[in-house]
């Protein structure tokens, strides 16, 4: 049945988040703190590997040596667009709204809702971090398209990986990780529903460009989680769309 892979992925993230929240409450603060740093380092490595892989793969297409310009241009244009739209500000407001709801639903969101992480990270940061990790990458795009065409096998594998990652993330970042099912369902579901029409436009260069820009943002999230530097990730999110558009136009 088309879409079963998307449903499985959403359920896996929910299950992983629930397990992480339950175990997170049983872990002492000092262990949660070091786990928080470990998650940050892991995120940096994942983001760097994704960005470098995307850059190399994009460089081997007809875009060639312009691959680096795709990265720089998309990040700059994305940052300017996001700043103009005040995406970070509205994400923060959305996070506070979610925290208010979470405070009224302690059964669904056990533990601290205002400080799910050891550094006072809000619910929205868990949401953004998990959303990027779960929604950016070739497995998301190709798996969703295949699911829409009747083959959910790739999304089944992704669901397993995302479920495990959700456990680790929820232990340190809190209930916001579970809210990432919203973009997961929207993005994967949209790709699955439009698989027949979108497949011709989702070329290899477009996938590589999304991984390039998305990997850079994931790396930036790792910088924040480790306490090295907090960057306005929300305001740079449009970079992913710009990178995909430029890659599509240049190929």
Helices (H) and strands (E) in the chain, counts: 12, 0
Torsional class of 111: left (φ above 0), alpha (ψ -120 to 50), beta (otherwise): left
Structure-derived torsion over alpha carbons of residues 32, 36, 42, 46, reported in degrees to the nearest 10: 130
What is the mean predicted confidence (pLDDT) over 145-165? 92
Under DSSP, the state recorded for 176 is G
What is the mean predicted confidence (pLDDT) over 131-149? 88
Overall pTM surpassing 0.95 (yes/no): no
Q: For the chain, what are the domain ranges?
A: 4-250
In the structure, what pLDDT confidence band is assigned to residue 34 with cuts at 50, 70 and 90? confident
Query: What span, in angstroms and rounded, lies between the C-alpha atoms of 27 and 138?
Result: 34
Owner of token pair 């995909």: 244
CB atoms within 10 A of CB 12: 24
Q: Encode pLDDT of 43-101 as tens digits.
A: 899 999 999 999 999 999 999 989 999 999 999 999 999 999 998 888 778 777 766 77
Looking at per-residue pLDDT, the higher value among 136 and 238 belongs to 238
Looking at the chain, the whole-number percentage of residues with pLDDT higher than 70 is 90
Strand, coil or helix: what is 28? coil
Owner of token pair 């096998």: 153
Q: Encode pLDDT of 175-221 as tens digits.
A: 889 989 999 999 999 999 998 888 888 899 999 999 999 999 999 98
């Amino acid at each position: 049945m088309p879409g079963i892979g998307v449903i499985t992925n959403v359920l896996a993230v929910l299950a992983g988040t629930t397990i992480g929240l339950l175990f997170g409450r049983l872990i002492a603060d000092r262990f949660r703190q070091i786990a928080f740093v470990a998650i940050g380092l892991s995120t940096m490595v994942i983001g760097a590997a994704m960005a470098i892989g995307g850059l190399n793969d994009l460089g081997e297409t007809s875009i060639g040596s312009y691959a680096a310009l795709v990265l720089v241009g998309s990040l700059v244009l994305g940052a300017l667009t996001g700043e103009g739209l005040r995406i970070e500000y509205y994400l923060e407001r959305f996070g506070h709204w979610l925290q208010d709801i979470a405070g009224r639903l302690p059964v669904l969101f056990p533990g601290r809702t205002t400080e799910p992480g050891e550094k006072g990270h809000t619910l929205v940061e868990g949401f953004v971090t998990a959303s990027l990790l779960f929604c950016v990458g070739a497995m998301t795009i190709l798996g969703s398209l295949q699911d829409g065409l009747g083959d959910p096998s790739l999304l089944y594998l992704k669901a397993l990986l995302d479920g495990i990652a959700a456990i680790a993330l929820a232990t340190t970042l809190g209930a916001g990780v579970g809210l990432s099912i919203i973009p997961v369902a929207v993005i994967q579901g949209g790709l699955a529903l439009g698989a027949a029409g979108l497949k011709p436009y989702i070329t290899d260069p477009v996938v590589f460009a999304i991984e390039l820009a998305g990997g850079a943002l994931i790396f930036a999230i790792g910088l924040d989680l480790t306490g090295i530097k907090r960057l306005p990730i929300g305001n740079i999110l449009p970079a992913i769309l710009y990178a995909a558009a430029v890659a599509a136009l240049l190929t």
